Structure 1
Amino acid sequence: MSSLITHVSTQKDYRKALKTWRPVVFYFGHPHCYACGMADPLFCKVAEAFETRAVIYKLSTDQSPQHPEVTGTPTVLFYKDGKLRRKLKGIGDPASFVQTFTELVGRTKPRRLPTPRRHDVCWLRQRLRTLCTVRRAPALLRLRATPR
């Protein structure tokens, strides 16, 4: 799971992480916590399925600065549009955790910019066939073609 971000060094990094159109998920655990040891593999398995739709941070509470919403471990915070949508204290059973992930992250699609219309050779031929000309255009073309 190389795409998980595992280090946030300052409080400013938390604010910077939330300035994205994608949902942001923070997982806080501690290496010596028994519950975190059981929740960590489940979180990694579920997060792997959603890593293309969200920005996921897997942080250790002893290495990262203190987050104001984290009072115990394991804690999962779901943010969308910079606002806290859900806080999970503990993971719970796998089915409910997957359902929560799906509700908050699963239906997210990237914003797409309108693509400019591309004109190909078939389009050009069709336009040239339907092109209207002025009645005197052939006469003007003959005048230009004759040397002066």
Structure 2
Amino acid sequence: MAGNVQEFTDATWQSEVLDSDVPVVVDFWAPWCGPCRMLAPTIEKLAGEYTGRVKIGKMDTDQNSNTPSGLGISSIPTVVFFQGGKEVGRLVGVNPEAKFKATLAEMGVS
């Protein structure tokens, strides 16, 4: 993954996302997905801006099927926001950077 963007897997889900002491943003994507590739620069930019305050990463839905199916991810890209191990927000499709920042602000992240 590029820069500050982490890679999450089914194996690391519990420790990296659910047990995280900071908010976590997860971009569910796949390499063949055009809209996912369109969203990637926004995710990378946010990861750089929120370093140390929010953990931002991606999960390849082709390589990891348990977690996405358990969360009811039915289309990609889907970005899910977690705080205290619980889902607190979800954005489906390609969304503008401002929408991500608004969701993070609602979570108390500035």
Query: Under a length normalisation based on structure 2, what TM-score does the superposition of the two structures give?
Result: 0.80
How big is the shift at 1:91?
3.4
- Could you tell me which residue of structure 1 aligns to residue 49 of structure 2? 49
When residues 82 and 60 of structure 1 are mapped into structure 2, their CA distance, relative to the original with a 3 A threshold, is: same
Q: What is the Cα-based RMSD across aligned positions, in Å?
A: 1.9
- Could you tell me which residue of structure 2 aligns to residue 3 of structure 1? 4
Question: 2: distance between equivalents of 1:21 and 1:42?
Answer: 23
Q: Give unmatched runs, 5+ long, in structure 1.
A: 108-148
- Please give the per-residue CA displacement for 1:86-136, whole angstroms capped at 9, x wherever unaligned: 0111232232223223333624xxxxxxxxxxxxxxxxxxxxxxxxxxxxx
- Could you tell me which residue of structure 1 aligns to residue 13 of structure 2? 14
Question: 1: distance between equivalents of 2:14 and 2:34?
Answer: 30
When residues 41 and 34 of structure 1 are mapped into structure 2, their CA distance, relative to the original with a 3 A threshold, is: same
- Could you tell me which residue of structure 2 aligns to residue 72 of structure 1? 75
- Could you tell me which residue of structure 1 aligns to residue 23 of structure 2? 23
Question: 2: distance between equivalents of 1:76 and 1:105?
Answer: 18
Q: Give unmatched runs, 5+ long, in structure 2.
A: none
How big is the shift at 1:52?
1.1
How big is the shift at 1:9?
4.1
> What is the number of equivalent residue pairs in this alignment?
105
Question: 2: distance between equivalents of 1:22 and 1:94?
Answer: 20
When residues 105 and 48 of structure 1 are mapped into structure 2, their CA distance, relative to the original with a 3 A threshold, is: farther
- Could you tell me which residue of structure 2 aligns to residue 106 of structure 1? 109
- Could you tell me which residue of structure 1 aligns to residue 90 of structure 2? 87
Query: Under a length normalisation based on structure 1, what TM-score does the superposition of the two structures give?
Result: 0.62
How big is the shift at 1:26?
1.1
> Is the contact between residue 3 and residue 44 of structure 2 (CA under 8 Å) also seen in structure 1?
no
> Is the contact between residue 4 and residue 47 of structure 2 (CA under 8 Å) also seen in structure 1?
no
**Greater relative contact order structure (CA < 8 Å, 6+ sep):** 2
* % identity of equivalent residues: 29
What SS does the aligned partner of 2:81 have?
strand
What SS does the aligned partner of 1:20 have?
coil
Question: 1: distance between equivalents of 2:108 and 2:52?
Answer: 10
> Is the contact between residue 50 and residue 105 of structure 1 (CA under 8 Å) also seen in structure 2?
no
